[in-house]
Amino acid sequence: MHGIIFELDGKLTDLTGVWVHLQSPAGKDWRDFKVMVQAGRAPEVFDPSGMRDWGVPWPDFIWSQIHELGTFIVEAYFDAMQECMGQCRSPFRWVIATIDTVVENDGIELRGKALPFSPRQY
């Protein structure tokens, strides 16, 4: 196992073709997504450079990065996940539109909304 699970509408999906472009999904054909990164994989995905201070919970660290850097860092997270799984982000099929919750349990779980990739939108 790669220690990363990605689900769309509760169905296990691979990460190939997942792109990130944070946006409001209002009025669009959005789906719920969940991605679970096992604890052992968290540094590799969310903090390869070891910037997180000890004692700072992963969700706080991740949220602070998202609020400061936006799409740029979420794209990096998903790129790292795809690399861990030997998958790639293109050709685009799905777009991560929002990150709604970040929770730490046995691993790090991100939930949000995803949209089918529609080239016309860009």
**Which residues are at the interface with other proteins (CB under 8 A)?**
17, 19-24, 47-49, 51, 65-73, 75-76, 79, 89-93, 98, 116-120, 122
CB atoms within 10 A of CB 2: 14
Say which residue the tokens 């016309």 belong to: 120
- Compare residues 49 and 105 and give the one whose CB is closer to other proteins: 49
In the complex, least distance from residue 112 CB atom to other proteins, rounded to whole angstroms: 11
- Compare residues 35 and 66 and give the one whose CB is closer to other proteins: 66
CA dist 92 and 16 (Å) reads: 8
List CB contacts of 68: < 8 A, sequence separation 6 or more: none
- Compare residues 48 and 86 and give the one whose CB is closer to other proteins: 48
In the complex, least distance from residue 83 CB atom to other proteins, rounded to whole angstroms: 12
Residue 87: both structure tokens together: 């998958």
